Amino acid sequence: MSGREAGGSRFLYEPFESSRRPCEPDLKLAAYERIMAERWTALEYRLKVLETVLQRLERRMWLTIVGVAGVVLSEAAASLLMLPRP
């Protein structure tokens, strides 16, 4: 404990260095592969959520388009019915 006050966590003062304790390369590779597998799983989950949101948005847009087309057609039909008959 040179030059620091007693108490507190040692992690506040000593940075974590993986090179301090030698580790087998196979263990590092296995840990990296597990991390990448978890990241890939999380990415797939986010992509599924995004795809669901896009499908909902597409459904709403088509509903809006069909609704606008229905209003335009009903206005056209109403104007045709209001034409004076000879």
Query: Is the distance from CB of 4 to CB of 13 less than 8 angstroms?
Result: yes
In a domain, 1, yes or no: no
In a domain, 72, yes or no: yes
Helix, coil or strand: residue 35: helix
The angle formed by the CA atoms of residues 39, 43 and 49, to the nearest 5 degrees, is 145
State residue 12's pLDDT score. 62
Domain that holds residue 50: 23-81
Token pair, residue 44, equals 């797939």
Does the structure show a pLDDT above 70 at 9? no
What whole-number distance in Å separates Cα of residue 70 and Cα of residue 76?
Answer: 10
Domain count of the chain? 1
In a domain, 13, yes or no: no
State residue 4's pLDDT score. 56
In a domain, 44, yes or no: yes
Read off the pTM.
0.54
Token pair, residue 50, equals 């995004």
What's the pLDDT tens digit per position in 16-70? 555 555 667 777 888 889 999 999 999 999 999 999 999 999 999 999 999 999 9
